[in-house]
Structure 1
Amino acid sequence: MERHGLDPAAPAQGQRVDHSVVDESRARLDRFMTIAAPKLDQLFGLVGLSGCGVLLTDESGIILDQRCSDGDRTTFEDWGLAVGADWSEAAEGTNGIGTCLTEKRRITIHRDDHFLARNIGMSCMDAPIFGPDGGLLAALDVSSARVDQTEAYNRLIAAMVDQTAHAIEADFFRASYPKARIVVADSAEGGAATLLAVDGDDIVIGATREARKALGLSPSGTFTPRPASDIFGREDGPRGFEKAERAAVVRALTRANGNVSEAARALGIGRATLYRRMKRLGLDDT
């Protein structure tokens, strides 16, 4: 009421943006939406028979994609849950999509938790999706206008929504770093997309929002590349060129299954030279 000037008793249907705005957002997020589509189908396959619809919005709360059964489509249209609808808090007050995006966390808005009286017949379960730069990218929503939808059932759906949002985020992160190795980092939040992208020189070149939080880094923005050893705190032992040489020798020996002659050939040096280097680096025959 104070921030957006909304009247909770306003009878008018929600706001919709022009088709050109939807097309522009879809074009900007085309790759992301292509990756997300199979996960939306999978989620709808789990909740669709219960009268729920699956929605994907951009970071401003505009619905860009939707899954619902033909029998429920008219109901969702009447509720304003359709492509092009604006479900930001500025347009609808407290609601699943808008509040999820505002607070950047998973949330359930059940029936009369909604700000506008015309929305209190529905339940909305939402989770945010963050991009490879850690910035807010979208919201995943499951909504139901069934009067018999219980809060206990909503909790089950909310868990599926959260899991799907993490899966979409992880898939998009992997696709954004196709030539990098993807390393899973430890996280206090189970199921979160806690991923690092590491290049061939063992330099971390990207991290998801959850990984940044877990490692004490800035949660969003341009990622400054840094050695993986700095990220993981493993700086014991040799450093600099000696460390790089040791790593190269160990990799060659591992690939050769401990065969020194084969490892020497792979490194382009003689067997005796490799033995001398192993001794200097503190490596034995095992």
Structure 2
Amino acid sequence: MVDTHRALATSARTWTTPAVLPVPQQPARTELIEQWHQRCSALGLTRIERPDFEPLTRCDLTVARERNQRLFTHAAPVMEMLFEQIVNTESMIVLADVTGTILHSVGDDRFLQRADKVALTPGVNWAEHSKGTNAIGTALFEETPTVVHGGEHFIHANHFLTCSAAPIFDPRGNMLGVLDVTGDQRSYHQHTMGLVRMSARMIENQWLSDDYGNRLRLHFHSRVEFIGTLLEGIIVVGADGKILGANRSALDQLDMSSAALRMHSLTSLFGTTASAVFDHFRTPLPVPMTLSLAGGREFHVNARFNGPQRSMVMEPGFSQAAAEVVDHRAAAGNSSRRSGALAGDTANSADGTLFSGLHYLNTGDPQIGALVQKVQRVINRDIPLLILGETGTGKELLARAVHQDSNRAKQPFVAVNCASIPESLIEAELFGYEDGAFTGARRKGAVGRIVQANGGTLFLDEIGDMPLPLQARLLRVLQERNVTPLGSLKSIPVDIAVIGATHRKLRDMIEAGSFREDLYYRLNGLVVKLPALRERCDLDVVARRILLAECPHGTPDISAPVMSLFKAYAWPGNVRQLANVLRTASVMAAGEGQIAEHHLSDDFLEDVRCLRQGREPAAPVAMPAAPPAAYAVPVHSPALPQGRAAEPIIAPARPAAMAEVAAPRTLSEAEVELIRNALAAANGNISVASKQLGISRNTIYRKLRWAK
């Protein structure tokens, strides 16, 4: 966020005030005022109306303020800073809600007393139907910044005022209220409107950041020097590439309405993808991108994303990575300030992500409570932490909480998923490389993840999937605290805390020779195991927090039958699966207030029907080492010592030639045949096949397990 004091102080140089000077030589302006006055007459108002000295009762005003608490929270500090710019000018600053009711005001004491005489005070409604033409009410009606000066006010009693007001909108284009500066008409200044508009946009931008702190945001302007100022446009991109919202500057620059912009995706608007944006900004010290509209107009663009750093590793599929980010954050109720209030307090991490510490993870389950107590004892004691647990249980969330509660909280938290990076690239990703270190390397090289984490925390997710040769090099780094990038002879000293995580049984892997014993003992200073969701007793609390994060306004309840169903279900995908189920259900139940069984996805209900019929539900995604016998055979690595068996790897049980036998007779058989062929083409790699087919690994397991 741009420095507020500096922005307000320099607004006169950066904002263009509309030509609204109240002089009779402006025929267009005179005609506009006449239209406004005719509208007031049509409402039955007269120009000699007496001021309304019957504001809302204290109780009603309290209700109105509570209803607009979020607006007030964002507006109050901006109003105070704006007041510093207009102090001693016979002026006041007013915040009104979308109905025109004044919620809050600050100003010079002497002028506040004069304003009281015309009922310009909290609790009084200043919509046009109540007070005639005035900046607050007219800005609400016209939905645009408005100046009403002196005799332009419809009611004679208000002729001593000069008012400049700007509406405040949320990222989806819904009006939230109005910010207004009112003063003695003799103190009118042409820059006042610029100050008000700038202040309104500060509030809007803060609202946008609050709503979409964990989404990809593009900050852009046609002039690169304006990026990072209040003149920049901001658009928010969803996990599927769709435009979710934007600030007013973005709408102005793109010359679109909010509704029209939300019809676009990143591809249809700028001709690019989220993956391309992430790839560009993963480079060290990236320069702004240049993106063009269909008509050829160019913009300079910076990107911001406050989610976990592993989402920056973009293989084709920003959607999946971003969805996982949201799942983890939503499961902890940590996607915004509003859910953080459940825990009592929140803190900002080094990467800008709003995040709560370990205490917030303690949701009433005894196992989680005991785990949190253990972890709290080793924080800041230079003891490595190894987190075990099934996929989706929240291992990264726990690691972030540890980082947030440690002395390293203001330094980077860098997450690396050892299973998601191709084996050929993971060494360069971790250690970095020099220019020309290998074919395809970026010019000027790249900083590795370990160096990026210097001073902070390095989270090695799925450490059990790290290639054996790389384990030796990582061990050397942990022992010597020095990193040598690929192609370089120079070592870089690093100071990092290391947290590892895996769903695998590392002791078994050590016995099999696929994981180094010395690295294991370097990582397991304290080993904790996150329980699976089916083993916890706080499912209702976790579900509620997910819904609060997904639906902050009008959070639906979960019906008793659905909650009973949830508690009886095995949740093979754990908290991540619960978050996905609730996200879909909350959308389907929009406006109904309660999630019922018919709001749940067909995929989930299929598992439930299987459970009710006494059949085994889908195998947990977390246990790929034990695939269904119907379609997998063990494959042993020739590199292992004699007599040691490797973990079975998913591989098609049938030779390719058998796929050409009889054509499938049903849709179900056709699905199974397609899945088996995809597995054969992917050499048995479930993850690759699932991406090619566009379905989850869980679905592949289920379809093949149930195949006759």
Structure 2 residue aligned with 1:41, among 66, 72, 80?
Answer: 80
Aligned: 1:99 with 2:138: yes
Q: CA deviation at 1:80?
A: 1.3
1:267 to 405, 413, 421: 421
1:9 Cα offset (Å): 1.5
> Is the alpha carbon distance of 1:28 and 1:193 closer, same or farther for their aligned partners in structure 2, counting shifts above 3 Å?
farther
Q: Deviations over 1:188-210 (max 9, x none)?
A: 9x955732123566554332355
Query: Is 1:182 equivalent to 2:214 in the alignment?
Result: no
Q: 1:65 offset after TM fit, Å?
A: 0.9
Question: Shift of residue 121 of structure 1?
Answer: 0.8
Q: TM-score, normalised by structure 2?
A: 0.32
- The whole-number CA distance in structure 1 between the counterparts of 2:104 and 2:222 is 30
Q: Specify which of 147, 156, 160 is matched with residue 191 of structure 2.
A: 156
User: Helix, strand or coil for the counterpart of 2:47?
Assistant: coil
Answering whether residue 269 of structure 2 is matched by residue 231 of structure 1, we say yes
Greater relative contact order (CA < 8 Å, ≥ 6 in sequence): 1
SS in 2 for 1:168: helix
Q: Deviations over 1:40-91 (max 9, x none)?
A: 0000111121111000001111100110233333212112111011110001
The answer to whether the aligner puts 1:53 opposite 2:92 as a matched pair is: yes
Distance 1:252 1:103 in 2: 40
Percent of aligned pairs with the same amino acid: 24
Which segment is superposed worse, 116-125 or 13-22? Answer: 13-22
Amino acid of the structure 1 residue aligned with 2:199? T
**Cα displacement string for residues 10-66 of structure 1 (whole angstroms, at most 9, x for unaligned residues):** 234466333344323322221221111110000011112111100000111110011
Contact 2:242 2:262 in 1 (8 A): no
Distance change (3 Å), C-alpha of 1:162 and 1:203: same
Looking at structure 2, the residues matched to 82 and 13 of structure 1 have their Cα atoms a distance apart, in angstroms, of 10
1:251–1:140 Cα change, 3 Å: closer
Describe the SS at the equivalent of 1:10: coil
Counterpart in the other structure of 1:6: 45
RMSD: 3.5
Number of residue pairs aligned between Structure 1 and Structure 2: 254
C-alpha displacement of 1:166: 1.0
Aligned position for 2:347: none
Do 1:126 and 1:142's aligned partners in 2 also have CA atoms closer than 8 Å? Answer: yes
CA distance in 1, matches of 2:56, 2:244: 37
Matched AA of 2:145 = R
Deviation of 1:132 (Å): 2.2
**Where does residue 141 of structure 1 map in the other structure?**
180
Q: Which residue of 1 aligns with 2:148?
A: 109
Task: Give the TM-score, by structure 1 length.
Answer: 0.75
Corresponding residue number in structure 2 for 1:74: 113
Task: Verify the 8 A CA contact 1:187 1:194 in the aligned structure 2.
Answer: no
Quick one: distance in 2 between partners of 1:133 and 1:156? 28
1:165–1:193 distance in 2 versus 1, CA, 3 Å:
farther
Q: Work out whether 1:16 is the aligned partner of 2:51.
A: no
**Counterpart-to-counterpart distance in 2, 1:177 and 1:183:** 12
CA distance in 1, matches of 2:169, 2:48: 34
Task: Answer yes or no: is the 8 Å Cα contact 2:241–2:266 preserved in 1.
Answer: yes
Question: In 2, Cα distance between the equivalents of 1:134 and 1:207?
Answer: 8
SS in 2 for 1:148: helix
Change (3 A) 1:203 1:223: closer
Counterpart residue type for residue 169 of structure 1: E
CA–CA distance in structure 2, aligned partners of residues 195 and 78 of structure 1: 42
Q: Is residue 2:66 matched to residue 1:27?
A: yes
Q: Relative to 1, partners in 2 of residues 1:220 and 1:57: Cα closer, same or farther, differing over 3 Å?
A: farther
Question: In the alignment, is the contact (CA less than 8 A) between 2:220 and 2:232 conserved in 1?
Answer: no
1:121 matched to 2:160? The reply is: yes
User: For residues 136-179 of structure 1, what are the alpha-carbon distances to aligned partners after superposition, in whole Å with 9 as ceiling and x for unaligned?
Assistant: 1111111113x5324xx1x1111111111111111111111121
Alignment-derived partner of residue 261 in structure 1: none
CA shift at 1:265, angstroms?
A: 9.7
Look at both structures and tell me which one has the larger radius of gyration over its CA atoms: 2
CA shift in 2, pair 1:44/1:179, >3 Å:
same
Structure 1: runs of 5+ lacking an equivalent? 236-242, 258-263, 275-282
Instruction: Provide the rounded CA distance (Å) in 2 between the counterparts of 1:247 and 1:34.
Output: 33
